[in-house]
Chain A
């Protein structure tokens, strides 16, 4: 028990422990274990992904002449995309969206909720958590419909509550709408994450901090944060990637009035399906992937820097 307590409670949570084959797995068996999963991934993910990479270098379309006779155009699609001002607008909007809605919005709201609810009466805690999780669990098409109903210009609930009949929220403040919508949908993940992380912090440390007179803010900064940093980064990475790739805002604004919410996932969709240019769509997806890669690398760099060497303390 003590050992368990210690390992769970080290100040530098051992995130990247050296793999230890405690169960006597052995390389061969490990490969066997991992094989079916990797096979599935290889066939249904890797294979289409590589094919998509190839598509990105052709002028392939789903219909029309280029469907029957696709030509290899090399890096032309990438050039077209990078020269298209719509691409840069889309990229900018996506970065803003991810930053405000994902990194700042969901993380802060999720953490605040987790922190505030940690000592609240169980009944209230369950109630609030249920609301937040329901928002996350409800399917995307339903959620978007609920928000369309809320924000409707003529008969929306928000307008009738605020008495602002005729305010076209989705037209006049489209980015704000999708950002808040995304926060509504996604906060549950952060909240749950921080809830577990905070509860894994050894109370002894909190006790000591309180005894030396640290107020809540100082407790947060000096005890909680160092303890959860490791997991915080990994999971913020996930939130970033998910928000980057989410398509649901399309259901709300379809790219926004005149392209004001034209985030990358919407841009790709509109290029590939209504526009029919699958080759170009694939190329843009690849560019998006590379951007995601850069972000992921940034995260690993930060996480490696923060938790120091990957040695148990």
Chain B
């Protein structure tokens, strides 16, 4: 009798302690992630923001000044154009290519994928910017959003195909088989059968692409000439004063305005499609 009771009591104690630890760990981790972001929420509303997080001298002046800046708001729009444009291109081409590569075995397919994945790391670096610039120049695409989108998409596509192919691989074939029996062509199958199943993976790719494009400075900076074409990532670096010091009022307000659209897009996509990394139905 006593033994069971002791065991039961010990179990409860251990259970309690572990629950406390569990909560503690979660709280610490949450704080770790939240702490740097507190500045982002408080500083933009501060009339005299400093680097430290302090209770703000509440004002909306910073946003007013931001709106007065001729390029600031336009740049957010440009970021959206570049982000959504690249995303659309990457999803369409990526879905097509990854599906094809998943279903058909082309010799050396995996090797090619790996090679492309690795090469994409050079091109997104600084050393390849001269060739990229010259190429876009030859194509007369300097100072166009299309040029930037093409370059960004080219750099992102290998990773996308890599991830999506994995995804496509793990989608059960039964659906496609049935669809084929019903007489649908491969394109139709892709569009109406595979894509809906792959939606969570595509959603992840969409978000990932937009996040990559949103923060990219070098490519749009080099390929675009006029400030009304520049995306927010480039404009962020211009918020320095005459002598090159950071203007915290503008930078904090702009940081918030710069971050919010991506966060909203993430929430929207997550809510609508949910994220998933691998296909397969949840059992």
Contact = CB atoms under 8 A, between A and B. Distances in A.
| Binding partners A and B | yes
Interface in B261-283: 262-263, 266, 275-278, 280-283
A46 B38 CA distance: 42
A144 to B, nearest CB: 10
Interface string B114-152: 101111111111111011101100000000000000110
Given A44-B135, A127-B30, A245 B158 contact: no
Contact of B118 (A55, A142, A292): A292
Contacts of B255: 142, 145-146
Nearest to A181: B36
The main secondary structure of chain B at its interface with chain A is: helix
B35 A22 contact: no
Interface stretch (B1-9, B60-68, B91-99): B91-99
A38 B125 contact: no
Interface string B175-194: 01101100001100110000
B135 A48 contact: yes
Interface in B80-94: 89, 93-94
B135 to A, nearest CB: 6
Contacts of A296: 114, 117-118
B103 interface: yes
Interface string A115-131: 01000100010011001
A128 to B, nearest CB: 6
Nearest to A141: B236
B180 to A, nearest CB: 6
Contact of B190 (A23, A238, A272): A23
B281 A48 contact: no
B17 interface: no
A82 interface: no
Given A23-B176, A41-B154, A156-B52, A128 B29 contact: yes
Contacts of B20: none
A146 B128 contact: no
Contact of A139 (B116, B157, B185, B215): B215
A298 interface: no
Interface string A16-32: 11111111111101110
Contacts of A21: 103-104
Contacts, number: 305
Contact of B51 (A19, A49, A148): A148
A139 B262 contact: yes
A134 B37 contact: yes
Contacts of A147: 36
A45 B37 contact: no
A4 B116 contact: no
Nearest to A147: B36
Contacts of A16: 169
A11 interface: no
A7 B172 contact: yes
Interface residues of B, number: 101
B10 to A, nearest CB: 14
A73 to B, nearest CB: 16
Interface string A251-288: 00000000000000100110011000010011011101
Contact of A7 (B34, B132, B180, B280): B280
A197 to B, nearest CB: 7
A53 to B, nearest CB: 8
Contacts of A30: 100-101, 103-104, 106
B40 interface: yes
Given A36-B93, A41-B157, A48 B128 contact: yes
B258 interface: yes
B114 A37 contact: no
B130 A44 contact: no
A226 interface: no
Interface in A134-181: 134-143, 145-150, 152, 155-157, 160
A196 B127 contact: no
A19 B277 contact: no
A307 interface: no
Interface stretch (A84-92, A93-101, A198-206): A198-206
Given A40-B153, A139-B214, A141-B236, 4 more contacts: A33-B100, A138-B259, A192-B204, A282-B128
16 contacts: A5-B281, A7-B172, A19-B102, A19-B103, A34-B101, A40-B153, A41-B154, A44-B135, A45-B120, A139-B259, A142-B40, A142-B259, A184-B36, A197-B278, A231-B277, A241-B118
Interface of B: 22, 25-26, 29-30, 32-40, 43, 50-53, 89, 93-94, 96-97, 99-106, 114, 116-128, 130-132, 134-135, 150-151, 153-155, 157-159, 161-163, 166, 169-170, 172-174, 176-177, 179-180, 185-186, 189-190, 204, 207, 211, 214-215, 217, 232-233, 236-237, 251, 255, 258-259, 262-263, 266, 275-278, 280-283
Interface of A: 1, 3-5, 7-9, 13-27, 29-31, 33-34, 36-38, 40-41, 43-49, 51-52, 55-56, 60, 62, 109, 112-113, 116, 120, 124, 127-128, 131-143, 145-150, 152, 155-157, 160, 184, 192-193, 196-197, 199-200, 202-203, 231, 234-235, 238, 241, 244-245, 247, 265, 268-269, 272-273, 278, 281-282, 284-286, 288-289, 292-293, 296, 300
Closest 4 pairs between A and B when the two form their complex, measured CB to CB: A44-B154, A8-B280, A37-B97, A51-B131
